[in-house]
Chain A
Amino acid sequence: MPPAGPRSGDAIFASVERVNAELFTLTYGATVRQLLTDLEEVEEVNKQLDQMGYNIGIRLIDEFLAKSNVSRCVDFKETAEVIAKVGFKMFLGIAATVTNWDADGTCCSIILDDNPLVDFVELPDTCQGLYYCNILSGVIRGALEMCLGRDIAPYLKIVTDTQYLAFTKVSMKTEVTWLRDVLRGDDAYELQVKLLKQVPEEYPYKDDE
């Protein structure tokens, strides 16, 4: 049976368990502060935050797919829209907009309308190089690496539905960077997501032929 259409981010957010955003904000703040104390170098902290985000992303994608009914995205363009409209809403309760597409559809910007990570935050002079929200870029990168695409669609007829899902798992390697950051004096939070390459995962079953 084909899955029902994707659910809206609002509907999912309304149905999942939620916690006070301040607990989340302050816990994230405590995490960043701990990293700054331990690692000392701001650059190292950026890296560690990205890594933590990546770890989250590769696990979060399962919950995302399970709750959103988005079983596969046709292309990178659709995927980006889904991240912005459903993903951000479902986990952080915020809306995001996709814009600034390049000509061949492999690079775009995600602009956050709100950002629960940065309440109460101001960067001191010593942390000017810090990408405070770098965990978010890691999450997107991680989730897309585990994303499902539809690049091997011709095989569709010969396999069952479950096999199809496993079959068409396409990992999207991306590069995610901050273009604008309010904490660093810009007027918005803007993440650039650039598709580097799509790698079909290996066929997991024994070939009978």
Chain B
Amino acid sequence: MIGVGKIKQYSNVLDKPLSKGKQEVSLSAFAFLFSELVQYNQTQVDNIAELERRLEDAGYAVGARVLELLCHREKGNRRETRLLGILSFVHSTVWKVLFGKVADSLEKGTEHEDEYMISEKELLVNRFISIPKDMGTFNCGAFVAGIVRGVLDSAGFPAVVTAHFVPVEGQQRPRTTILIKFAEEVGALSLTRYSSTQRML
């Protein structure tokens, strides 16, 4: 019969087998969509901070789902429970799945114990974005910061995550650094875990 689709129907979305995550769409399709997301949000806010917060919210929704998806698919229903474990999960597994590559670097903040930074020379979402002068320090990476916060928060590591442009010597375009500052209880938690392990030794 003409016009019968090839899409298999499932009565429930959960009956559908989990995709292997190998499907791709063109980068332009994503860039067009992302640009609409940013432009729509621009119409909803009065200032840059609010715009970044809204993009972060959108990213958070993505991050929470990415964690769930990847724990099922890549980690055999296991989730990282250690601070460094979850950080390297974000830096490598999450980045690889979402952006096709491991993040350029993951570093510990030098000034504060509870700060970590993931840096990317050319963040995918910033590829086709140039910020007008009057928008100051606005960074669309706020969306990615939201993804990171979504993953961390859903895994039980609440944190404040922000995106910043950092100028690089000899490069015209700055790199983007995602700054992760863990909530106080996370620091305390890993400390207790640490001391209990020590005691066991």
A residues near B (Cβ < 8 Å) are 13, 16-24, 26-31, 33-35, 38, 48, 52, 55-56, 59-60, 63, 90-93, 97, 99-100, 109, 111-116, 119-122, 135, 180, 182, 187-190
Contact check, A19 vs B7: say whether CB atoms are below 8 A apart: no
Is A111's CB under 8 angstroms from B3's CB?
yes
- CB closest chain-A residue, reference B54: A34
A182 touches B7 (CB 8 A): yes
* Given A22-B69, A120-B65, A190-B5, A17:B27 Cβ within 8 A: yes
Contact indicator A55/B65 (Cβ below 8 Å): no
Beta-carbon contacts of B1-39 to A below 8 Å, as 1s and 0s? 011111101001100000101011111111011101101
> Is B44 at the interface (CB under 8 A from chain A)?
yes
> Would you call B57 an interface residue if the criterion is a C-beta within 8 Å of the partner chain's C-beta atoms?
yes
Q: How large is the interface on B (under 10, 10 to 19, 20 to 34, 35 or more residues)?
A: 35 or more
Select B36's contact among A52, A93, A189, beta carbons within 8 Å.
A52
CB atoms of B37 and A182 under 8 A apart = no
Q: In the complex, what's the smallest C-beta–C-beta distance from A43 to chain B, in angstroms? A: 17
B129 at the interface (CB under 8 A from A): no
Question: B54, A17: Cβ atoms under 8 Å?
Answer: no
User: Looking at the complex, which one of B24, B36, B98 makes contact with A55 (CB distance below 8 Å)?
Assistant: B36
Q: Please classify the interface of chain B as helix (H, G, I), strand (E, B), loop, or mixed, using the class held by over half of its residues.
A: helix
> Quick check: A19 and B100 within 8 Å, CB to CB?
yes
Cβ-defined contact, A31 with B9, below 8 A? no
Q: How far is the CB of B54 from chain A (nearest CB, A)?
A: 7
State in angstroms the CA–CA spacing of A29 and B62 once bound together.
8
Are B33 and A24 in contact, with the CB atoms below 8 A?
yes
Q: Which of B23, B33, B40 is close to A27, meaning CB atoms less than 8 Å apart? A: B33
Complex: how many Å from CA A22 to CA B59? 13
Docked-complex contact A13 and B4, CB < 8 angstroms: no
10 contacts between A and B (CB under 8 A): A18-B26, A19-B26, A20-B97, A23-B97, A24-B33, A27-B33, A31-B36, A90-B26, A91-B25, A120-B69
Q: Contacts A19-B100, A52-B36 hold; do A13 and B3 have CB atoms under 8 A apart?
A: no
Known A16-B28, A93-B23; 18 more pairs at CB < 8 Å: A18-B27, A19-B30, A23-B98, A23-B99, A30-B37, A30-B58, A31-B37, A33-B58, A34-B37, A34-B41, A59-B32, A93-B25, A111-B3, A113-B5, A120-B13, A120-B69, A182-B7, A187-B7
